[in-house]
Structure formats: C-alpha cells, structure tokens
Amino acid sequence: PLTSTVNGYRNVGYFAQWGVYGRAFQAKQLDVSGTAKNLTHINYSFGNINNQTLTCFMANKAQGTGPNGSDGAGDAWADFGMGYAADKSVSGKADTWDQPLAGSFNQLKQLKAKNPKLKVMISLGGWTWSKNFSKAAATEASRQKLVSSCIDLYIKGNLPNFEGRGGAGAAAGIFDGIDIDWEWPGTNSGLAGNGVDTVNDRANFKALLAEFRKQLDAYGSTNNKKYVLSAFLPANPADIDAGGWDDPANFKSLDFGSIQGYDLHGAWNPTLTGHQANLYDDPADPRAPSKKFSADKAVKKYLAAGIDPKQLGLGLAAYGRGWTGAKNVSPWGPATDGAPGTYETANEDYDKLKTLGTDHYDAATGSAWRYDGTQWWSYDNIATTKQKTDYIVSKGLGGGMWWELSGDRNGELVGAMSDKFRAAAPGPVTEAAPP
C-alpha cells in the first residue's frame, strides 16, 4: 500500500502563510523544484485562535483589535482568497473569479493531486499566535469547543464567506491533520503577553491533545480516514518540563512530534557569535550550563522519558542566524550586533547564505557557519543535513522537519535529507497515504 513516507521516514516542511508576498514563494515552487516529491507532510503555518470566542477562526486583517492584537490577526486572503494566474498555479490553470476556493489552500490541493502520498497539515499557533492557547485549553468545555471549531474550519473545510469565496465544505479534503504549535505551555519563555497558567497549563495541554485525538478519530470514523495529530516540540529542557512535553501520555494522542533543533542561540545575545543548530554540545560554548543547548541533548531527554523514537522527528533550519562586527572565524567570538537580513535583522535564508563569505563545518559539534570577515552566520548546510540525517537513522527516529521551505527554494537541503533516507535501511514509520 502507498505510504506517506520516504522509505519509512517522514520529511516534514513548514509552509509559511506570509511567504507568498515578499518572498514570492508559492506552492508551485515546491512542484517545479521537485521538493514536493521529497516531502511527506507540509505544515501550513499558521492558524490562529480568537481572543473572544477561543476558537479556530479566520480573519483578513494584519492586526487584531483586542489586547496585544489577539482577537483577530489573520490572512484569509493568502489562505483562500487570492486568485492565481496560470503561470503561478500548480495546475497551470488560472483561478476564476467565482470559484469558492483560491489562495494557498487551493494551490496545496493541486499539489496533493500531483503527489498522492503528500499530507497537508494545518499548524496552529506559532511564536506569534500562541497567546490564547492557555485560556482555550483551560476547561473541558473550552477544549471541546476549540477542537470542534478547528475540525469544522480546517478538516471539514467550512470556511467563512470572504469576498465571494469560502462557504460550507469549500476546503474539504485539503488538510490531513492538525499540528499543535503552542509556544510554550506552563512557562513565560514564549512571546511577551501570551496567556500562561504556570500551574495548570501542563495538565490542560495533555487534556487538549487527548481532545484533539478523540474528535479527530470520531470524525475520521465517519469517512474512513485516519487524521494525523502532530506537535512542534521544544528543545530547551526547562520548556519541556514546564509543559510536560515528554510525558508518554501525550504521545498516545500524538502521531508524532518534531523537535526544534534550531534557534538554540541567536543575536538576542548580540555580542557573542555561536551555533544556532548544533547537533552536539560544543565544549567551547562559554554560556551557563542551563543555556548550553544542542539537538542531541533534546532528543535524549525525550527518549529517556520513554517516548518511542519513531514518534520523534528532528527539526533543521532552512535559514541562519547571524552577527556583524564578528572578529573571529571560530564560534563563540565577539560581535557588535545582529547581522543585516533581507526580511529581519539577524535572520537570513539558506539560499542567500550559501554564497556569503567562506563555509565552515565542524563534524564534532554537527554545526556549520559562514564568515566573510565581518558577518558570522550559523546555519544548516548540505554537510550538517547529511550528518543529522545519519543521526536520525542511527537513533531510529521517525524523520526530519524543516522551518521553513521558502529558505531552501530549490529543495537542496530537503532533497539531501530524502536522498539519505532512500539510501538507508527502511525506517520505522508506516503511515498510510491519504485515501
């Protein structure tokens, strides 16, 4: 039977809602580059939770009007409103003015038609839109209401009416599951202003995952479909503990989770260069012991808690984090500030970094960086991708994940991972393809 794996491994990629604008990254690029054939799951990011109703919803405004703008930021235009010309469309056909579904949702539907084993997930939350998770997860009634609304909107595809598009069932059949990206239950290390209940979030999070599993299975039994439930897993041991992320009970609800193997260091410390995505601890890391992060340390924490390795994926970065005024070619040297980036300071796509300055790779730490005499950038390249893929295979993990696909336009990194999976012994995952 057809499976949604690459030789028994997952290769998951996040597709950013906002990428269709300045980055000009549409779903068609995943088709023409061949990336779609190397992916098993696309996580469309992100869906938001309304501050007033505590439900999944869609709006078309850059900023909400509630406290922190949290009642309603959204981009329904990118999701399902924007019409695509023939040359920008996966199918090669132009959208018509009167079709109920356009935008990225329709493009992903066309991508799935060309790639029958590909699954598309809706990812809820993210760094900016995790504000209302805590409140929505707080009671049995609020959990049931949130989950029901998310299934109604994304899985059943009952979209709001928006500029002549949307309506009941307009997005049916696009999403094969839901990815939970709550950053972070039980701790104030998420975005300032997030709702956090340090006492109860941990238990409520577990109950929320169970509610998602229950309702997804109940709806799946009506149309003979198994819906996927995944999560974006923190790497910081303190965040793991605060949210109870490594509780095996959570993985009875989840099909799998992807560990954040990046953002381990960055220009929030503007005067110290260093690895943002190192596989192993670096003995030269001068930071306090509680701040010495590595992907391997995170993986081992989940495995030590008894999580089945095949339910874990390792996240890699299709972007780098960088500094300017860097004096040393080696990591952990002095710098003056975050380096200039195309879309945000101290952040740049792999595609732009791969030709900057000179490339450096350290197998001992599983890290790569670029240095041009002033700018110092930590990133993932082909060498670290191959090393980390070997690590995934050797640990019996379920696969890898990428944040986010627009940084690797031609699928060089994603493809290097899938090529390694194909050459390896078959992996542990048996996940049926969408029916």
Catalytic residues, which ones?
Answer: 183
**Angle at which helices 382-394 and 412-423 pack, to 10 degrees?**
30
Q: Which of 315, 376, 384, 322 is nearest to 348 (CA)?
A: 322
- Given its phi and psi angles, is residue 92 left (phi above 0), alpha (psi -120 to 50 degrees) or beta? left
Stated length of the chain:
435
Using CA atoms of 238, 243, 245, 246 in order, give the dihedral in degrees to the nearest 10: 60
Cα separation, 424 vs 418, whole angstroms:
10
Tell me what percent of the chain is helix, strand and coil, each rounded to the nearest 5.
30, 20, 45
Task: Characterize the bridge pairing of strands 177-181 and 228-233.
Answer: parallel
Per DSSP, 307 falls in state -
Listed in sequence order, the residues at least 6 apart from 434 whose beta carbon sits closer than 8 Å to its beta carbon are 4, 112, 116, 117, 118, 119, 176, 225
